Amino acid sequence: MPPANAAEQVVFVTGAFRRSIPVADLAHLAETGEARGLLGDVLRLGRQNPAELAKLLNVQIRLPLVLTSRLLGTRIGEAALSRVARIVFPLKAPGVAVPALRAATILGLEKGGGSLSPLGFLQAYPNRDLAVSLPELKIAFNRLNSVTEVVRSFLETDLGGQSGAAGSGTTP
């Protein structure tokens, strides 16, 4: 079978449960703001605004192509890609998740003229089915929330300079 030129499905996986959303439906949402098919049903059931998801799909991040390519080839880049690869990977070939993520980033940047959006990433992903592990995604969100709470707590203390003598610039 010839290699895919882009992801055709985003497959949400949790245990034996799998649900697919066609990338074409995500592209339609990004272009029109209108959700259709299973995506429309999911957004309706979750009481989510399709226009908000459309905005997220179109967010452009400018990155220098050569520098990004070099960074993704370093140990730090490999470590970051390995962490993301626990969440996002080719459905039938999870062992090649890191190269697939790297390729989608570089190809997406090249196609986007130095900008990358979530939709552009999907359209450059070199595998037909991009799997998203819901349990791993939940773990990542929980960690992110924990870090956010630590930062918020720090900022609300005297150490954060928000109140008391530490915030006034005087020393006791």
Q: Please, are residues 117 and 58 in contact by the beta-carbon 8 Å criterion?
A: yes
143 alpha-carbon distance from chain centroid: 15
Question: What's residue 6's pLDDT?
Answer: 87
**Mean pLDDT of the region 9-14:** 94
Alpha-helical segments (H) within the chain: 23-32, 37-45, 50-58, 65-72, 75-85, 97-111, 118-124, 134-156, 164-168
Return the number of other C-beta atoms located less than 10 Å from residue 3's C-beta: 7
Q: What pTM was computed for the model?
A: 0.79
- Name the residue type at position 63: L
- Rounded Cα–Cα distance for residues 145 and 26 (Å): 26
127 in helix, strand or coil?
coil
Question: What's residue 31's pLDDT?
Answer: 96
- Rounded Cα–Cα distance for residues 126 and 114 (Å): 18
pLDDT tens column, 122-172 = 999 999 999 999 999 889 888 888 877 877 777 777 665 544 444 444 444
DSSP category for residue 112 = T
Q: What does DSSP say about strands 9-14 and 17-22: parallel, antiparallel, or unpaired?
A: antiparallel
